Amino acid sequence: MNDAVLANIKASITTIPDYPKAGIMFRDITSLIQNNQAFNQTIDCLVAQFQDQGYTKVLGAEARGFIFGAALAHRLNIGFIPARKPNKLPRETVSQEYQLEYGTDALHIHKDAVSSNDNVLVVDDLIATGGTIIAAINLVRQLGATVTDAAFVVALPDLGGEDKLTALNVKPFSLISFEGE
C-alpha cells in the first residue's frame, strides 16, 4: 500500500477531543466516508489485502462495519453478513454478549448466515478493546464457520484489542493507527 494513500486516508479522519467523555480522542470516520477519494482508497486497500484469500463471506459489525464490510464484500464478489444489535434481525438468530465500559451489549446474526464450509472475514471501522469484534468472531465460530482474519480501517493499539484477537488465532489488519484512546 502506498504511503501517500494511507496518509490521505488518515488525514480524512476527523479527531474529536473529549467525545463521548473527557479524555477520549474520538476518531470519526464519517469524514472519511464523505470524502469520495479517501473512501475509495480505503476500499481499494482492503481489497488488495484480502482478495483471492478464499473468503466466502464478509461479516460487518453494526453499524460502521456495515459501511466498509458491505463495500468490501461487493468488491470481493462474496456475500455480506450484518452482525446486528438485539431485535433488529427478522429470522432466528444466535447472539453473543460483550462488555462495554458501563454494561453489556450483544450482537446477533441469522442462524443460517454461515455454515461449516464458510471462511469469514470480519470487518469493523475501528479496533479498540476488541469487544465487538470478538463477539462477532464467537458468533461465526459458534455456527461452525472459520475466522482467521479481521480487518479494520483504524487501530488504537494502546487499548489492546489487537492482542486479544491474536490470542484467539485471528490476525488483525488495520490500514492506519492512532496512539491513545
AA letter at 100? L
Grid cell digits, residue 48:
488488495
Per-residue pLDDT tens digits for 108-150? 999 999 999 999 999 999 999 999 999 999 999 999 999 999 9
Inter-CA distances, 105 with 46, 76, 97, 112, 133, Å: 28, 30, 6, 22, 12
Predicted pLDDT at 72: 98
For residue 153, the SS3 value is strand
Per-residue pLDDT tens digits for 12-61? 999 999 998 898 899 999 999 999 999 999 999 999 999 999 999 999 99
**Would you kindly state where each structural domain of the chain is located, as residue ranges?**
54-177
Please give the CATH topology (third level) of the domain spanning 54-177: Rossmann fold (3.40.50)
Grid cell digits, residue 35:
470524502
User: Which of 5-19, 50-64, 87-101 is the least confident region?
Assistant: 87-101
Which of the four pLDDT bands, split at 50, 70 and 90, describes residue 101?
low
Predicted pLDDT at 103: 77
Closest CA to 132 of 92, 164, 158, 157: 164
Predicted pLDDT at 130: 95
Which of the four pLDDT bands, split at 50, 70 and 90, describes residue 181?
low
Contact 176, 8 (CB under 8 A): no
* Those residues with Cβ within 8 angstroms of residue 79's Cβ, 6 or more apart along the chain or in another chain: 56, 57, 58, 73
Which of the four pLDDT bands, split at 50, 70 and 90, describes residue 180?
confident
Closest CA to 66 of 54, 84, 51, 48: 84
Inter-CA distances, 125 with 14, 87, 90, 91, 154, Å: 14, 22, 25, 26, 6
